[in-house]
Amino acid sequence: MRPTLRSAAGWAVLALMLMQFIPLGRLNPDPPSPLRAPAPILQALGKACYDCHSYRTRWPRAAYVAPLSWFIAHSVRNGRDALNFSDWDQSRILQSDSLKNTILMVIGKGSGHQQMYYILNPEARLTASEEAALVTWLKAAGMQH
């Protein structure tokens, strides 16, 4: 029993080591068409959303250790696909009219959107006043490029 357990642990360690070499697209390309908005709006979105919805991702240390890195790279890829504040023209084309409402809905959810992220990064949560500013800006047709 003992040797089997020990060799299983050995294999697990080896597998973890090998996982580190699988390449990931952990890049931050230059923003092709960044969103333009008043500074406080950009600051709030930057703090709470840009890690997953822009090319300005602040990659955490865990993003370099598999298998956690796979999970993080995966959510950033999905996040950028859904909405990319660094590639605003593309986002507009992809989501057209419904984009504004979807963003409003996500902001209304607060840290319920991507709960794990906001638990691990409490400083990234929107404050009540940032939330209010975003809602006002969005409703005032602020989404023009």
> How many Cβ atoms are within 10 Å of 9's Cβ, its own excluded?
10
Q: What is the binding site for ligand HEC (CB under 6 A)? A: 48-49, 51-53, 75, 78-79, 82-83, 102-103, 106-107, 113-114, 117, 126
Q: Which C-beta is closer to ligand HEC: that of 66 or that of 134?
A: 134
By beta-carbon proximity to ligand HEC, the closer residue of 12 and 68 is 68
65 or 137: CB nearest ligand HEC: 137
Residue 68, token pair as written in the block: 């956690």
What's the min distance (Å) between Cβ of 3 and ligand HEC?
A: 42
Query: Which amino acid, 25?
Result: G
Cα distances from 61 to residues 32, 58, 64, 95, in angstroms, run 26, 9, 6, 32
